[in-house]
Amino acid sequence: MTENTGNNREVTSKTNFIHQQVEKDLAEGKNNGRVLTRFPPEPNGYLHIGHAKSICLNFGIAQKYGGLTNLRFDDTNPEKEEDEYVRSIMEDVRWLGFDWGDRLYYASDFFQHLYDFALKLIREGKAYVDDQDAETISEQKGTPTRPGIESPYRSRSVEENLMLFEGMKNGDYDEGSRVLRAKIDMASPNMHMRDPILYRIMKTPHHRTGDKWVIYPLYDFAHGQCDYWEGITHSVCTLEFEVHRPLYDWFVDQLQDSDYRPRQIEFARLNLSYTIMSKRKLLELVKDGYVKGWDDPRMPTISGMRRRGYTPLSIRNFADRIGVTKVEGMSDVSLLEHSVREDLNKIARRVMGVLDPLKVVITNFPEGVTEDMEAINNPENPDDGTRMVPFTREIYIERDDFMEEPPSKFFRLAPGREVRLRYAYFVKCTEVVKDDSGRITEVHCTYDPASRGGNSPDGRKVKSTLHWVSATESIKAEVRLYDRLFTVEDPAGQKERDFKDFLNPESLVVLPECFIEPSVKEAEPLSHFQFERLGYFCVDPDSVAGKPVFNRTVPLKDAWSKEKGKSS
């Protein structure tokens, strides 16, 4: 059984067209009732939210039908693949809450099988060594409406092909000088059937097989057979592979050793607004320093989202909400952020933190005294209990919670006005202190001792409740505010413009001097908090003792949709 390594807060998976196909196969007794799916990443980058959709789908099918899921690294291109990526992919799949048990595979495990299979195809006259270069071969491919041209090497004898292919394997020839091709049909209406390349010479060490091989199978020659040899029953992939399916079937047909066939089912990949999903482009952002790394909290990678404070459940819920279809579309990133808020609302402890501090002196509160005020940890979860927050004569409030000359709609603190300090007291503004430039440096207030806990002593009302922290007992922290990495919905789809032209210059704002209540002192990296009235935050691994760093995961409300609403 695939098991869920997350917690008990579960996704209730909707039924989709792939589930229906699996159910039909089960009803017909196919594969003796076995369900085995796989997640097949190429280890050439970190996983992103699109991969999360595929992971949730593949592991989800197995969970739903009592099956299993393999993790397979499609490592057929040593020029782009690295162990760092293998490790990060395993970490990310586990973190999302899925477990492949002992079913970890690599396409490179099958290199010998694939080589032997290639020999079989040559012996049967179904593959040949082509001495032309890649450019010539591609020119001869033709177009969907015009048949291709047969290679002059197509009718080589089996003996010559065997000898040349062995020479390729032994490293006798230069890269690019020869390839092995399948002999299928240069006039096929399906371009993928026009004598596809099976092997190329590449004198690059492989992250697992070292320099054992100098020829490597192409992805198309490896993928379907790996599915077959692993015994995959349902091979779920994205729509662009639909046209490759006849080729995969052709290969498995040539193996001719059983009736069993993995069933390939295609679905539409996830596209997300304000996001790019191409690993090549993400690598460019990392390599050229546009972001701080693959796990930069602005990246759509799973590691970036984890560091940003997204939870596995929120990602799984999102994957379930967007569903699985055959139609390409664009999902709204707000929906992902909604799933994140929904989960964090249930689990994040509430604390008070002030990001843009304005000092308030409570002139009738004794100096040197600390009063502990009881605060609720999470109103959504009474079991989470309460904590004590120190209240002192000097506190901080948010600078924008005070206005010297408030407009009529402003109900927060202003001269002569009384407000509630959450969990503490009613305070009334008596004086504004400014520096020479006219900037407000302090606000003086008096408090009503009878309003302890923030309760009205005599039924009198105040129009607003502010969060605050003690100026002397709180912790100084750096807070990093993140916004969307791109300013347009479809950064990769802008005509004649590079996606990097649309990077959001305000995607990261660092606030070096924020103050947070002392209860967060011992918080572990990645722990989640709601800063009351501000949003959800999590502890960044860059934190050091005495100097925590918080990432804003999401604001409390969706600022972007509010803006959209305003303009419409």
Half-sphere exposure of 378 (CA within 13 A, CB side): 16
The reply on whether position 470 binds ligand ATP by CB under 6 A is no
Figure out which of the listed residues 238, 430, 487, 527 binds ligand ATP, where binding follows CB under 6 A: 238
Close Cβ partners of 253 (under 8 Å, ≥ 6 residues apart): none
* Nearest CB to ligand ATP, comparing residues 127 and 237: 237
The reply on whether position 78 binds ligand ATP by CB under 6 A is no
From 78, 90, 39, select the one nearest 61 (Cα to Cα).
39
What distance in Å separates the CA atoms of residue 383 and residue 241, rounded to the nearest whole number?
Answer: 50
Helices 312-322, 49-64: crossing angle, 10 deg rounding: 80
The reply on whether position 279 binds ligand ATP by CB under 6 A is yes
Q: How far is CA 229 from the centre of its chain?
A: 30
The reply on whether position 277 binds ligand ATP by CB under 6 A is yes
* Nearest CB to ligand ATP, comparing residues 272 and 481: 272
The reply on whether position 269 binds ligand ATP by CB under 6 A is yes
Q: Least separation, in Å, of the C-beta of 45 and ligand ATP? A: 7
What distance in Å separates the CA atoms of residue 414 and residue 402, rounded to the nearest whole number?
Answer: 6
The reply on whether position 90 binds ligand ATP by CB under 6 A is no
* Nearest CB to ligand ATP, comparing residues 93 and 344: 93
Q: Least separation, in Å, of the C-beta of 207 and ligand ATP? A: 15
| Residue of this chain nearest to ligand ATP (CB atom) | 50
The reply on whether position 16 binds ligand ATP by CB under 6 A is no
* Nearest CB to ligand ATP, comparing residues 50 and 97: 50
Close Cβ partners of 189 (under 8 Å, ≥ 6 residues apart): 144
Q: What share of the chain is helix, strand, coil (3-state, %, to 5)?
A: 35, 25, 45
The residue written with tokens 């001792």 in the block is: 449
Which residues on neighbouring strands pair with residue 128, listed in sequence order?
Answer: 181
What distance in Å separates the CA atoms of residue 490 and residue 328, rounded to the nearest whole number?
Answer: 14
What distance in Å separates the CA atoms of residue 320 and residue 12, rounded to the nearest whole number?
Answer: 8
Sheet with 197-201, strands from edge to edge, namely 127-130, 179-182, 197-201, 215-217
Asked whether 154 and 183 are in contact (CB, 8 A), the reply is yes
The reply on whether position 490 binds ligand ATP by CB under 6 A is no
Q: Which helix (H) or strand (E) segment is 85 a member of?
A: helix 83-96
Which residues are the active-site residues?
Answer: 42, 269, 279
* Nearest CB to ligand ATP, comparing residues 181 and 244: 244
Tell me the per-residue interface mask from 43 to 62 with ligand ATP, x by CB under 6 A, - otherwise: -x-----xx-xx--------
Q: Least separation, in Å, of the C-beta of 551 and ligand ATP? A: 24
Q: Least separation, in Å, of the C-beta of 245 and ligand ATP? A: 13
Contacting range for ligand ATP; rule: CB under 6 A; set: 34-42, 196-204, 516-524, 555-563: 34-42
The reply on whether position 270 binds ligand ATP by CB under 6 A is yes
The reply on whether position 491 binds ligand ATP by CB under 6 A is no
Q: Which residues bind ligand ATP (CB under 6 A)?
A: 40-42, 44, 50-51, 53-54, 237-238, 269-270, 277, 279
